[in-house]
Chains A and B, each alone.
Chain A
């Protein structure tokens, strides 16, 4: 019980979950079916019941539980937040909506946003996305022609279509951030310039649309994720997994800014995927260590996220959290289930993080041979040099252990 109270940061939740686990034990254990280690069985079952309970809680505040400094204590409007009414900023927002108009394809939206809103040069954008400058120049010309010829307006959409159009704005900002945060190719893992631009954009859009919960959720998510930037690579530029990161390098100011922004979003009572991911980020941010992270709540949040985004990638993140909350066997079971479900598309098998996650769980189980095989598969699929270095290090570890 004490362990669960510490893990959940919530006495009532721990009591209920423990009670349910004992009830289940009474119903299912017989003279011949008692588990090998009843204590571990009870703990795992209690954690599973806690996940179910948290999942059913309606708002983020309750999902996060008392582990988190109470979100409702934050004053809204934020003192560092909403700018005064300002024609210049309104024009900026109108420009963003024009650049992210769904009549443009997404590559064009990203390029024209970085060019026209952030003021990056064609050369800078080309370098950030690792395409030849001429290619990027052509993409920008095509986008500008379409905007002019098709009559794409530079206005903030009216209420009836704001939510739908905001989706595409937020998607563009998120993609700029993830491209900066986890470069798909090339030597550096993090292209900081793109992260800076994305954070600035996300904060701006949120500040100018104070009633749009998901805009605030994205801004919270990016602030809290970006807080870990300095810890994500070692001095040689190699990737450092969150579990191994030096948490003193995490930027407390960005975490606090993210927390306040998530609080604002939560008060608007309109849940969504960015807010949910921001809540996961917050639980990481406040955890003293990987082991002391509230993984049970994180699994429940991923369950919630799956309702918005039933994608294999989200399910993969959930499986990784399951392996932390319930152990590597449970994580592997979740991955197997996921692969069976996704087999038809074959999408997952070509995804490097799937094999890397599997390898990590196998390694934790002590199956070095299978772990090495999974790492090799991940290596085959990875073009990012920093990530390759990391996986090669893990392969060496597998060899040493076996």
Chain B
């Protein structure tokens, strides 16, 4: 089964992005990604820029409304994702629990909806 692992952190409760702690965390992310790759579970994944750099778009009455910032103001913000393919939710939970930020952040595990084949 395919799962999206959504990586959340609270900007007020995480290592400063430019600081030494965050820098020290980076090699652990690389190692984690490599482990996922080696296991054959990795389908994809990317980090995202901060929500400060987000743009929210709506079209209302034919007019495109563009606003600065994230769609929803929440305490924890999405910082990146992995897409994996494993057999069960337990395996997905195991991968989520191994992420370097898990001691201060959160992972939302979302199963991918498999659409019926259009072919």
Query: Hey, which bits of chain A sit against chain B, CB under 8 A?
Result: 101, 103, 149-153, 155, 157, 161
A155: B residues at CB distance < 8 A? 88, 90
Neighbouring A residues of B109 by C-beta, 8 Å: 150
From the candidates B1, B89, B92, B113, name the one contacting A101 in the complex (CB within 8 A): B89
Interface CB pairs A-B, < 8 A, 23: A101-B89, A103-B89, A149-B111, A150-B89, A150-B109, A150-B111, A151-B1, A151-B3, A151-B87, A151-B88, A151-B89, A151-B92, A151-B111, A152-B88, A152-B89, A153-B87, A153-B88, A153-B89, A153-B90, A155-B88, A155-B90, A157-B90, A161-B90
- Chain B residue, CB-CB nearest to A148: B111
Residues of the B chain whose Cβ atoms lie less than 8 Å from the Cβ of A152: 88-89
Given A149-B113, A150-B89, 15 further pairs, Cβ under 8 A: A101-B89, A103-B89, A103-B93, A150-B109, A150-B111, A151-B1, A151-B3, A151-B87, A151-B89, A151-B111, A152-B89, A153-B87, A155-B88, A155-B90, A157-B90
List, in ascending order, chain B residues with CB within 8 A of A151's CB.
1, 3, 87-89, 92, 111
Question: Looking at B3, B88, B113, which has the most chain A CB atoms within 10 Å of its CB?
Answer: B88
How many residues of chain B have a CB within 8 Å of chain A?
A: 11
Chain A's nearest CB lies how many Å from the CB of B99?
A: 17
Q: Which A residues are in CB contact (< 8 Å) with B88?
A: 151-153, 155
Give residues of chain B (67-98) contacting chain A, Cβ–Cβ below 8 Å.
87-90, 92-93
B residues less than 8 Å from A149 (CB atoms): 111, 113
Contacts of A101 in B (CB 8 A): 89
* Complex CA–CA separation, A151 to B3 (angstroms): 10
CB-defined interface of B1-42 with A at 8 Å, one 1/0 digit per residue? 101000000000000000000000000000000000000000
Taking CB atoms, residues of chain A closer than 8 Å to B87 are 151, 153
Q: How far is the CA of A161 from the CA of B90 in the complex (A)?
A: 10
A326 to chain B, nearest CB (A): 45
Complex-state Cα separation, A34 to B93, whole angstroms: 64
A390 CA / B89 CA spacing, docked (Å): 48
Residues on B lying within 8 angstroms of A by beta carbon are 1, 3, 87-90, 92-93, 109, 111, 113
Q: Which residues of A contact B93 (CB under 8 A)?
A: 103
Closest A residue by C-beta to B88: A153
B3 to chain A minimum Cβ distance, whole angstroms, is 8
Question: What residues on A are CB-neighbors of B90 within 8 Å?
Answer: 153, 155, 157, 161
Cα-based distance from A149 to B112 in the complex (angstroms): 8
Distance in angstroms from A92 CB to nearest chain B CB is 19
Chain A minimum-CB-distance residue to B97 = A161
Give the CA-CA distance A360 to B90 in the complex, in Å.
49
Q: Which residue of A lies closest to B94 (CB)?
A: A161
Q: Shortest Cβ distance from B86 into chain A, in angstroms? A: 8
Task: Report chain B residues within 8 Å CB of A103.
Answer: 89, 93
**Bound-complex Cα distance A156 to B75 (A):** 36
Complex CA distance for A151 and B110, rounded to whole angstroms: 10
Instruction: Report Cα–Cα, A150/B109, bound state, in Å.
Output: 9
- Most chain-A CB neighbours within 10 Å: which of B1, B109, B111, B113? B111
Chain B residues contacting A161 (CB-CB under 8 Å) are 90
Q: Determine the distance from Cα of A214 to Cα of B109 in the docked complex, in whole angstroms.
A: 30
Closest to A158 in B: B90
A157 to B92, CA, bound (A): 14
Distance A153 CA – B109 CA, assembled complex (angstroms): 15
Nearest residue in B to A165 (C-beta to C-beta)?
Answer: B90
CA distance A288 to B98 in the complex (A): 55
When chains A and B are docked, how far (Å) is the Cα of A103 from the Cα of B111? Answer: 12
- Residues from chain B with a CB closer than 8 A to the CB of A153 are 87-90
Measured between alpha carbons, how far is A357 from B1 in the docked complex, in Å?
53
Measured CA separation A149–B4 after assembly (Å) = 13
A150 to B1, CA, bound (A): 9
When chains A and B are docked, how far (Å) is the Cα of A161 from the Cα of B93?
11
- Tell me the bound Cα distance from A150 to B89 in angstroms: 6
Separation of A150 and B90 alpha carbons in the complex (Å): 10
Shortest distance in angstroms between B98's beta carbon and chain A's nearest beta carbon? 12
A264 to B116, CA, bound (A): 52
A149 to B87, CA, bound (A): 12
CB contacts (< 8 Å) of B113 on chain A: these are 149
**B92: nearest chain-A partner, CB-CB:** A151
Distance in Å: Cβ of A164 to nearest Cβ of chain B: 11
Q: How far is the CB of B111 from chain A (nearest CB, A)?
A: 5
